[in-house]
Structure 1
Amino acid sequence: MTLEVRSLRVTYGSDVVIDGIDLDIGTAEAPVTALLGPSGCGKSTFIRAVAGIEPIAGGSVRFDGVDLAAVPTHRRDFGVVFQDGQLLPGRTVGQNIAYGLRTRRWSRASTAERVTELLDLVGLDGLADRAVTDLSGGQAQRVALARALAPRPRLLLLDEPLSSLDRRLRERLAVEIAEILRAARTPAILVTHDHQEAAVVADRIAVMSDGRIVQSGAPETIWRRPVDEWVARFVGCTTIVEGRLVHDAGSAAVETVLGTVAVDDRLIDERLVDDGRRIDVAVGLRPRSVTVCGADRGVPATVRGVAALPEDHLLTVTLDDGFTVSAVSTLAVAVGETLRVAIDPDRVAVIG
């Protein structure tokens, strides 16, 4: 079951909010897609347009080949989970989960069986009779997810379901939601501004900016080969350095001010051939992309700042040419100390 969005356009008066989006959701190789982007880029509007809540100004939304233009929201058979869950406060957990089943006239026995099944799926066994006002934030969002899944929807739309929770709870629930979606085998799209959450939950990520999809691919592709500097910074690269990409005899490496670092063949620009040619590239570094290394590697640097963290030390170092960058060290070092640093090849992004 695949949702096909083609040339989707949504406007608010004269303002274009969604501008020509093409996206397939629920494919066999990527049943769960994350729509990742900053606040205000149109992510929630996209969800509302797919659900039929927001009218579209152009393009099409099709499910299994059927155009949904004339299909009202309640007939699309899509489940939706919003940021705040929107649970019914005067009802119990079980009654909330059963709500959509009763409106579809499921029998009492079938409803009770499905509620029990969903409580087990979301890890809330024994809480059917609890008032939803007595739930924690994480429990409430799992009830909302169970309610959306109860009628066995053809597609699940998750609109920033974890954004109101604290970081630690979001990280735990992201793992749980990923497990629940795979167990339920329901194609889904997750809207989020958190790239870590997107990577945990989704098989594919579509990065959105100003109403457009600017890059789409597997999480590793987005991290390791962002299409431009904006995407690189949005997914966590804090430093951009110039480099020269060298491909020779089946191997690839990037020469930078931080030394030469070998890179995965999948990061090689498709224009390169096996002739030893070099092209200018930009390299994205994350806070832990540069590490202190031995005397036989890297380049010399002087420590300008030290922050002691639970597992290691985060350093600010300056190279001989004045370039300043963050680095990590497993050993304690002092401000003013001279050492050598190098790029971790597993934490570098080749941009473009």
Structure 2
Amino acid sequence: MSHATSGPRAVAHPGPAPQGSIHIAGVSKHYGNTRVLSDVDLAIDSGTFLTLLGPSGCGKTTLLRLIAGFIEPSAGEIAIDGRDMAGLPPQRRPIGMVFQNLALFPHFSVEENIAYGLRLRKVGAEEMRRKVELFLDLVGLVGLGGRRISQLSGGQKQRVALARALVLEPSILLLDEPLSALDLQLRKQLQVSLKEIQKKLKTTFVFVTHDQEEATLMSDSVVVMSAGKVQQFGSPQTIYSRPENLFVAKFIGELNEIAGSVVSAGGGALDIDTAVGRLTLPAAIARGLVASAGSACLVCLRPEHIDVRREGEATPGRVALPSTVVDRIALGPVIRVAVRCGESRMTAVRLARDSQALPEVGAACIVEFDPADAQIFAPLAGEMATAFGEPE
């Protein structure tokens, strides 16, 4: 699996390396006094579908452009297939790229667009025809090769751009938010198609998005970025279930928060005062928190880890908080239940078939959870959803 390096950096150097592997060592990028990326270390394994995920301005597109060679790092090294990329222009790197605006040639047919790079490489006519037909089939455009770009739907144009990049058989394909302009249904269809194509070709995909659901659905590994730094690097499930800091926890999925202050720490437990009473929770669930008396903290819970029960139905061994139901919203197979717990508004998600056991709106209730399902974080020092002021 792809991983963030720790200890000595994975310095770019010549030598054998799997085709499609990327090593990024201590990479920073700044424009004058504006820093866009800061000391990024990543090792991306060959054949991985990796997503760079983060809010606008976090540096993810800058990192993609550095890998592509459109810009050079201010510090650090990037190696592809074990080869240092310093000073190497994009056309000499073993990469393909699908741009956000697709950059298709409107006066060319679908076949001519796909064959464009092959013509530049002076590939023979018979081989060119064979490859174009192969990739038309791969992206589901058989029979549409003679159409002009203006005659295609948005999804078909996306597939042409993908085929044009893949027909050159790069070891790495870089994709800069290529699905962002599509409607939701088409976007979901292409997410599945992209993942299937990547698995079939075993090409390394580096995909940029700000959509958490898209990243979770498509990726083997996710790099969560904020303020020009890597906040966490791991599988989608690890990032969701074991976020390393509050930014990641808030950015990936929905989060309930209870503000508190550490009263004491010892014996593997933390006593935390909150507006809904004192909570005793395992110290092991704390992330990035200096757990000393007086430390401000947030106790965080995913909606699926909360049970809403009628008064008097608390379960032994679980934390139970007195609350009031303020809303119930049916969303197909699930029901979202909003409760008021002290000064906090919390949301639980339950299966619709369990609706009969849920208290009605306005009823007093108990919110309960397993202490091991909670996570404790230090509050954010400041707003991290924007980078250093420089566009991506």
TM-score range, shorter chain: 0.7 to 0.9
Q: Does structure 1 residue 186 correspond to structure 2 residue 199?
A: no
Return the alpha-carbon distance in structure 2 between the equivalents of residues 133 and 113 of structure 1: 25
- Give the AA of the match of 2:329: A
Q: Does structure 1 residue 110 correspond to structure 2 residue 127?
A: yes
Match of 1:19 in 2: 38
- Give the AA of the match of 2:60: K
> Per the alignment, do residues 59 and 350 of structure 1 end up closer, same or farther by CA in structure 2, a change over 3 Å counting?
same
Unaligned runs of 5+ in 1: 272-279
Match of 1:101 in 2: 118
> Per the alignment, do residues 341 and 188 of structure 1 end up closer, same or farther by CA in structure 2, a change over 3 Å counting?
same
Match of 2:338 in 1: 316
Return the alpha-carbon distance in structure 1 between the equivalents of residues 376 and 43 of structure 2: 26
Partner SS, residue 87 of structure 1: coil
Q: Does structure 1 residue 334 correspond to structure 2 residue 360?
A: yes
Return the alpha-carbon distance in structure 2 between the equivalents of residues 306 and 47 of structure 1: 43
Return the alpha-carbon distance in structure 2 between the equivalents of residues 261 and 99 of structure 1: 64
Superposition RMSD in Å: 3.4
Comparing 168-177 with 110-119, greater Cα deviation is found at 168-177
State the aligned residue count. Answer: 336
Shift of 1:201: 1.7
Q: Does structure 1 residue 204 correspond to structure 2 residue 221?
A: yes
Match of 2:56 in 1: 39
- Give the AA of the match of 1:335: V
Shift of 1:316: 1.7
Match of 1:229 in 2: 246
Q: Does structure 1 residue 325 correspond to structure 2 residue 346?
A: yes
> Per the alignment, do residues 105 and 305 of structure 1 end up closer, same or farther by CA in structure 2, a change over 3 Å counting?
same
Return the alpha-carbon distance in structure 2 between the equivalents of residues 246 and 235 of structure 1: 31
**For the Cα contact (< 8 Å) 2:25–2:41, is it kept in 1?**
yes
Comparing 329-338 with 158-167, greater Cα deviation is found at 329-338
> Per the alignment, do residues 104 and 219 of structure 1 end up closer, same or farther by CA in structure 2, a change over 3 Å counting?
same
Shift of 1:100: 1.0
**For the Cα contact (< 8 Å) 2:287–2:376, is it kept in 1?**
no
Q: 1:80 aligns with which of 88, 97, 105?
A: 97
Shift of 1:119: 1.5
Comparing 306-315 with 210-219, greater Cα deviation is found at 306-315
Task: Please give the per-residue CA displacement for 1:138-196, whole angstroms capped at 9, x wherever unaligned.
Answer: 22112111111111002111111111122332222212111111111111211111121
TM-score by length of 1: 0.83
Match of 2:300 in 1: 284
Comparing 92-101 with 339-348, greater Cα deviation is found at 339-348
TM-score by length of 2: 0.75
Match of 2:27 in 1: 8
1:242-281 matches, cutoff 5 A: none
> Per the alignment, do residues 120 and 222 of structure 1 end up closer, same or farther by CA in structure 2, a change over 3 Å counting?
same
Percent of pairs with identical residues: 39
Partner SS, residue 30 of structure 2: strand
